[in-house]
Amino acid sequence: MNVQDTSVRPAVTSEEVRARLAALGRSLPEPWQLPNQIKIAPSLIRVLGSRVFVSGHVPIADDGTVAGPAGKVGSEVDLETAQQSAIRTLLGIFASLERELGDLGRISAWCRLHCMVNSADGFLEFPAVFNPASQLLLDAFGDEVGGHSRVAVGVAGLPWNMPVEIEAELELHD
């Protein structure tokens, strides 16, 4: 059995994450601005003790607004575009977490990503859509903090017909 003591995990600060992303040619967007049609604004980040639950995020632009392209992966959206959408989604999660937590250094572990693909009939490469986003998470936070489990599933539709959606669970330092 492989049990890890989360109390000895290193802290990876927002500044370090931003520097690592910059080295990869990436940057954090503005935090997600929920569209006006959402009448009851859910909490995007829910902190309960040392646990963090991240509501489903979709791809966002640098200004924090929902970003296209829209459509089903495997018909209107190709694999490479879906992968870029997954990366934009994960960057949006980073931005939401930084806004809520104050510093990404509070994160001791990324526990799980739940990844959904707006899938066309016959498209089954769900894990491939999220592999680059998982790698970016590891690159930004390192293996100890960024290591995570993941599920990738296909669904009949997602909000605003976005190609991907990601939700997450994390653990905070005590």
Q: How far is the C-alpha of 22 from the C-alpha of 171, rounded, in Å? A: 25
Instruction: Calculate mean pLDDT across residues 103-132.
Output: 97
* Residue 174, pLDDT score: 80
CA–CA distances in Å: residue 151 to residues 46, 49, 111, 135: 20, 24, 11, 15
* Residue 1, pLDDT score: 42
* Three-state SS at 54: strand
| CB proximity list for 4: less than 8 A, separation 6 or greater | none
Residues 42-101 pLDDT 10s: 689 999 999 999 999 999 999 999 998 999 999 999 999 999 999 999 999 999 999 999
Q: Could you tell me which residues are beta bridge partners of residue 169?
A: 53, 112
pLDDT exceeds 70 at position 37: no
Instruction: Calculate mean pLDDT across residues 140-158.
Output: 97
* Three-state SS at 169: strand
Domains and CATH numbers, the chain: 6-172 (3.30.1330.40)
Would you say 28 and 21 are in contact if contact means Cβ atoms under 8 Å apart? Answer: yes
